[in-house]
């Protein structure tokens, strides 16, 4: 499998798929600090929770060499099959694309990158969360 196996979808498409398919999973690959201080998608209304596995460690930003192995274990424990839709999300779409590609090479056949990410791009004031992404779309999220 190559990079072309992973497609980019917008947050609304991801939400619709997560809502309508019992096997579809959201994988949030941001750091623990981001989950804690920025928030996470809230899938409670769908009877689901996002799978939280860091792609890079904080603060050194090194890619976790065991990411694919760790995520595959989490997905197996949830009963996810290699054919189920996996939607990968990060802050704005870069880390999640790399993570989705890594899982596609592991044999997961329906990997999708949530291109807008959780916070989307920077606005004119250099803030995120207002012009794109999960938060700006008004999708449910929570903060600890």
Domain range annotation of the chain: 3-142
Contact 112, 9 (CB under 8 A): yes
d(CA 35, CA 32): 5
SS3 content of the chain, % helix, strand, coil (to 5): 35, 15, 50
- The CATH code belonging to domain 3-142 is 3.40.250.10
Structure tokens that stand for 140 in this block:
């449910």
pLDDT single digits (tens) 1-17: 344 489 999 999 999 99
- pLDDT value at residue 3: 44
The tens digit of pLDDT for each residue in 90-128 reads 998 899 999 999 999 999 999 999 999 999 888 888 888
């Amino acid at each position: 499998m190559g990079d072309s196996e992973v497609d980019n979808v917008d947050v609304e498409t991801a939400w619709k798929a997560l809502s309508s398919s019992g096997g579809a999973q959201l994988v949030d690959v941001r750091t623990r600090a981001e989950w804690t201080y920025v928030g996470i998608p809230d899938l409670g209304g769908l009877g689901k929770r996002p799978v939280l596995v860091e792609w890079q460690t904080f603060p050194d930003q090194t890619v976790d060499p065991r990411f694919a192995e760790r995520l595959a274990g989490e997905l197996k424990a949830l009963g996810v099959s290699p054919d189920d839709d996996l939607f990968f999300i990060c802050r704005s779409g870069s880390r999640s694309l790399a993570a989705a590609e890594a899982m596609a090479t592991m044999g997961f056949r329906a990997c999708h990158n949530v291109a807008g990410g959780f916070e989307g791009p920077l606005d004119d004031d250099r803030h995120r969360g207002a012009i794109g992404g999960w938060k700006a779309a008004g999708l449910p999220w929570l903060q600890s």
